[in-house]
Amino acid sequence: MSVEDPHLWLEDVTGEEALDWVRARNGETLAELTESPRFAELRDELREVLDADDRIPYVRRRGELLYNFWQDASHPRGLWRRTTLESYRRPEPEWELLLDVDALAEAEGENWVWQGATVLRPDYRRGLVELSRGGADATVVREFDLDAHEFVEGGFTVPEAKTRIGWIDEDRVYIGTDFGEGTLTSSGYPRLAKEWRRGTPLEAATTVYEGKPEDVSIGASHDPTEGFERDFVSRSVDFYRSELYLRTPEALVKIDVPDDASASVHREWLLVRPRTAWTTGGTEHPAGSLIGIRFDDFMAGDRAFTTLFTPDDHTSLDYWAWTRHHLLLGTLRDVRTELRTLTPGPDGWAEEPLSGGPEFGSADIFDTDPDVSDEYLINSSGFLQPSTLSYGHVGEEVEVLKQAPAFFDASGMEVAQYFATSEDGTKIPYFVVRPSGAEGGPTLLTGYGGFEVSLTPSYSGMIGRGWLARGGTYVVANIRGGGEYGPSWHTQAIKAHRHRVYEDFAAVAADLVERGITTPEKLGIQGGSNGGLLMGVMLTRYPERFGAIVSQVPLLDMRRYHLLLAGASWMAEYGDPDEAAEWEFIAKYSPYQNVHSGRAYPPSLFVTSTRDDRVHPAHARKMVARMREQGHDVRYHENIEGGHGAAADNEQLAFKWALVFEFLWEQLTKY
């Protein structure tokens, strides 16, 4: 045991001594937070939201059928099922059941959690089903016959690991998994990409590409689009830099775009989104733009790209999706969605608007059918508008397919957007949702601030039931580190500039008080994963600004984060603690190293999961152990299963959020 860190023993995830400590802390927290009538009401109301029969059953098209995975009170592990578009249009579609995960778990005596399926195009008769134990990232892969509704005896099967697998054809797959010692990267992901043929043992698979131990991951994929069949190999050098290769019978040919750019190939087109400005073919393409060129021309040396999107100070590219003949763009203008249609033709690309979502809302192209048609599914919602799932074809009227129920009464509530000024003068947008005229009351502020993840307005029955309907104010901060204003919004706040994330969030907290929206004593904050780290920094650096803090599945010990589970893959975001110059700036904010006795901190709750194999539960364990030794007001709850989401089913999810809301209401209504 290190003298510097007396709590290293808590890094033993399933060690009996560590789990005894976890059980003791859980018992204390549950005794405090679960005995009130309000907790039971919160838990039951949230469970109603999660299990509601009239939720939208979201679907993905695969061939002629629409596929859905559904969980409710009777099926907590879930049902994999499918139907036709005609049937889906009805209030009660007729579903064809493919797999009952609850029945499978009971029959096999396993705690299976659904993690998805990869289905073979274009016939969609075979699938590679991924199941995890307790919700972990690591999965077991088993081949499934969709016509027979059963697993394929003697089919492709992969033991539990962080596996990347995809079809080449019915008898071959590309696979990266744990092949034994030395076959994983330092981040715990596949270092080898192999081609595996049906009927042969996994160890006989042929190596296609071998990465370096310090890479994040390696993968290979096959594009079966008729007339454009291609194979690719990808190498993730770090979280933001990657290399893409075309696999030919002769060799791997590098697609020569910048390593920090996003590149994708669809039919005849190559699209590139640079993360930093890229000059090629005599033209400079700014960071966050989208440019296109015919793939074969590019591979032959042509660099005359067409600009498809150019960002500005208010607008960024959020995502794109192909239909058969069109490219659909989702953009954000001051964090509000705008949709566009781009169509290639003999005279270049034509652009038209595509009807979008509500004010202060978001609209996501949920699915397309790029092999066959120009159809798309669009899901739109806002803070106070339940989701609407619509169906359309480019250039035609949009048909509403499903409307989600309202889980709380939004009448009399309002949404506003404000801008706070951070320490360096940058304007930071944030949304405020509250009952009309509410001032100075309990307020819940959340944020993320990392990995170019954007927080856009969306409907949450959980927040609505647990917070808004009870008179609380809800705030979402769009701080740097996210992607709300494109790559530069993110890159301004990585590594040595990480402090800007925390200054931005603290500025929003101060702005809420200055506007009279709340007071420090009634301001609670909540965040998870990288957002959990954000909460830890707020606790240790700005404790006087908050009345309660909830940190979920967090990173907190930034001295050792790169040594724990997938932590090494995030060094491009945070830096390398083993490099003295980089540890110097990390050390200034790392919560575990910056919590001290003799300083007043607001009451806090840390929530994590034993089965989280992405962010190690020891981050939260050790932080709480240190805070308890120092005499601080801290609580802890660790779900024994649940993965990085800290919950494996709706019952656990409702329980977790009821704990969070009960804690916040308890603390923020004292005054």
CA–CA gap between residue 531 and residue 541 (Å, rounded): 15
Helical pair 650-668 and 37-51, crossing angle rounded to 10 deg: 140
Indicate which residue of 285, 490, 632, 644 is catalytic: 644
CA–CA gap between residue 647 and residue 633 (Å, rounded): 25
Please give the span between the terminal C-alpha atoms of the chain, in angstroms, as a whole number.
43
Instruction: Determine how β-strand 252-254 pairs with β-strand 242-247.
Output: antiparallel
Indicate which residue of 390, 529, 604, 609 is catalytic: 529
Q: What distances in angstroms separate CA 641 from CA 29, 378, 469, 613, one per listed residue?
A: 17, 33, 30, 10
Picking from 657, 68, 18, the residue whose alpha carbon sits closest to that of residue 366 is 68
Q: What distances in angstroms separate CA 534 from CA 423, 546, 574, 624, 636, one per listed residue?
A: 17, 13, 12, 16, 17
Per the annotation, the verdict on 529 as an active-site residue is yes
For the record, the structure tokens of 597 come out as: 């006795």
Q: Which residues contact 52 (CB under 8 A, 6 or more apart)?
A: 72, 405, 407, 461
Percent of the chain that is helix, strand, coil (3-state, to 5): 25, 35, 40
Helical pair 499-514 and 530-541, crossing angle rounded to 10 deg: 70
Would you call 217 helix, strand, or coil by DSSP?
A: strand
Q: Are 291 and 280 in contact (CB under 8 A)?
A: no
Q: Which residues contact 199 (CB under 8 A, 6 or more apart)?
A: 154, 171
CA 47 distance to own-chain centroid = 22
Per the annotation, the verdict on 266 as an active-site residue is no
For the record, the structure tokens of 615 come out as: 């962010």
Residue with tokens 């007043």, as numbered in its chain: 600
Give bridge partners of residue 388 from the DSSP assignment: 380, 403
The sign of the dihedral angle between the CA atoms of 592, 597, 600, 602 is positive
Q: Which residues of 524-563 are buried (b: 16+ CB within 10 A; e: fewer)?
A: bbbbbbbbbbbbbbbbbbbbebbbbbbbbbbbbbbbbbbe
Q: Please name the helix (run of DSSP H) or strand (run of DSSP E) that holds residue 100, with its range, or none.
A: strand 96-100
CA angle 253, 259, 264 (to 5 degrees): 65
DSSP 174: E
CA–CA gap between residue 656 and residue 661 (Å, rounded): 9
CA 626 distance to own-chain centroid = 29
CB atoms within 10 A of CB 319: 13
CA–CA gap between residue 556 and residue 541 (Å, rounded): 13
Instruction: Report, as residue numbers or ranges, the catalytic residues.
Output: 529, 644
